[in-house]
Chains A and B, each alone.
Chain A
Amino acid sequence: MGRRYLLTLIVIVLIGCNEETKEWVFHGKIELPEKSRPLALAKTGEEIWLSDPEHFRLLKIDLKGKVLDSIMDLKRPMNLDSDNGNLYVPEFLTDTIWVIEKGIKMPFSIKAKPDAPAGLFVKGDTIAVADFYNHRIILQLNSKVYFIGKEGHKKGELYYPTDVKIFDDRIYVADAYNNRVQIFDFSGKVLQVLGDQYGLRVASAIDLTEDYIAVTDQENSRVLIYHIDGSLFQTLNSNINYPTDVLFDGSTLYIANFKENSVSIYRKNQ
């Protein structure tokens, strides 16, 4: 009797611990227009921009999925970024980066030419581009250009990078086809590698807050949430369909479901 009571107590404690760690909870989906294929997300103000390379366009939507604006005729727009109200768009087929400023599309020049830019990060004079076919990151700091990584599978090498973010002097690279995220310092030294031990299959996009790193596990239809120190915090796997981008906005996480016309919303339990 005593043993059964003890066992029950242990189970209750374990369930309690598990619930406590599962802080990000599915909240709902933003349904997009039929036939949309959202690949990437960015936020400028209250609205969300999404790239739909399958239909050569960007869509601006509200949180109910209503289309507020669109930009057409982009040759496969990929992982977006926003800075200071401007939207930055890498155009995969033409190796061009566009900036959308107050609704006007202009070329955004950087000092090195990528071959199939798949994702980018822009903050003031700091620009980083995931240079897909050159297997490297182009890093431009105050007009000076540096390169991080080269083709390969060893630590520090990249294989088809698709996204890049910079936070707290660290460069986070979605090293997509090495199935990992590599974290570099500005000299190109690897500080940390995430994902190796969790069976990631195509780590195509990342986003960060002060506390968390979200990584898409594209082929497994999951999103992995890491603590900022690199330890795994939570795996999200419900209501996600082939995620190709993640976007933090305060205590909300948006996930682009490429294989359906929706964006999943997860919220952090307070």
Chain B
Amino acid sequence: MNKLLIILFIGLSVISGRAQDGLIELKGTIKIEVDGLSCPFCAYGLEKNLKKLEGVETIKIDVENAFVLLTIAEGKSVDEATIRENIKDAGFTPRAITKDNDG
């Protein structure tokens, strides 16, 4: 019983630690809302930056509605913190990152 509690405690600590560090692994197609995406130079600049991320298969930039759709290659994942960092490096503020159900 004690052993089970210890394992459960360690497991929860690891999950909680990962969440705190922003290490949320993303798979499939995800939608990222980004502030200031209306300018084409910036939007395509962000696209160029995101292409450098390992595991990203396709990128669709929607300048009109200010979001990016990222498709992660099958069997791969990208963590959310890396994506947020990449977007900040390109000079943008990332907002909601959600699983895209239409993608």
Q: Which residues of A contact B (CB under 8 A)?
A: 37, 39, 53-54, 76, 78, 92-93, 116, 118, 132-133, 160, 162, 176, 202, 204, 218-219, 242, 244, 258
29 interchain pairs (CB within 8 A)? A37-B40, A53-B44, A54-B40, A76-B44, A76-B47, A78-B41, A78-B44, A92-B44, A92-B48, A93-B44, A93-B47, A93-B48, A93-B51, A116-B44, A118-B41, A132-B41, A132-B45, A133-B45, A160-B41, A160-B45, A162-B41, A176-B41, A204-B39, A204-B41, A218-B39, A219-B39, A242-B38, A244-B40, A258-B40
Minimum C-beta distance from B27 to chain A (A): 25
Q: Which residues of B contact A (CB under 8 A)?
A: 38-42, 44-45, 47-48, 51, 63, 91
Chain B residues lying within 8 Å of A93, measured Cβ to Cβ, are 44, 47-48, 51
Q: In the complex, A219 Cα to B91 Cα: how many Å?
A: 17
Chain A residues lying within 8 Å of B63, measured Cβ to Cβ, are 54
Chain A residues lying within 8 Å of B48, measured Cβ to Cβ, are 92-93, 116, 133
| 6 further A-B pairs in the complex, CB-CB below 8 A; given A54-B40, A93-B48, A242-B38 | A39-B40, A76-B44, A92-B45, A133-B48, A160-B45, A162-B41
In the complex formed, the residue of B with least CB distance to A219 is: B39
Q: In the complex, A118 Cα to B42 Cα: how many Å?
A: 10
In the complex formed, the residue of B with least CB distance to A94 is: B48
Do residues B39 and A53 form an inter-chain contact, with CB atoms below 8 A? no
Number of A-B contacts (CB under 8 A): 39
Chain A residues lying within 8 Å of B45, measured Cβ to Cβ, are 92, 116, 132-133, 160
In the complex formed, the residue of B with least CB distance to A118 is: B41
**The 4 nearest A-B residue pairs measured at CB:** A76-B44, A92-B44, A93-B48, A162-B41
Minimum C-beta distance from B58 to chain A (A): 13
Chain A residues lying within 8 Å of B51, measured Cβ to Cβ, are 93
Q: Which of B41, B47, B51 has the most CB of A within 10 A?
A: B41
Q: In the complex, A204 Cα to B63 Cα: how many Å?
A: 17
Minimum C-beta distance from B51 to chain A (A): 7
Chain B residues lying within 8 Å of A218, measured Cβ to Cβ, are 39
Q: In the complex, A176 Cα to B91 Cα: how many Å?
A: 14
In the complex formed, the residue of A with least CB distance to B62 is: A54
Minimum C-beta distance from B65 to chain A (A): 13
In the complex formed, the residue of B with least CB distance to A119 is: B41
Minimum C-beta distance from A115 to chain B (A): 8
Q: In the complex, A220 Cα to B61 Cα: how many Å?
A: 23
Minimum C-beta distance from A226 to chain B (A): 22
Chain A residues lying within 8 Å of B42, measured Cβ to Cβ, are 160
Minimum C-beta distance from B59 to chain A (A): 10
Q: In the complex, A244 Cα to B39 Cα: how many Å?
A: 9
Q: In the complex, A216 Cα to B38 Cα: how many Å?
A: 16
Minimum C-beta distance from B44 to chain A (A): 5
Minimum C-beta distance from A133 to chain B (A): 7
Q: In the complex, A132 Cα to B44 Cα: how many Å?
A: 11
Chain B residues lying within 8 Å of A162, measured Cβ to Cβ, are 41
Chain B residues lying within 8 Å of A76, measured Cβ to Cβ, are 44, 47
Chain B residues lying within 8 Å of A244, measured Cβ to Cβ, are 40
Chain A residues lying within 8 Å of B91, measured Cβ to Cβ, are 160
Chain B residues lying within 8 Å of A160, measured Cβ to Cβ, are 41-42, 45, 91
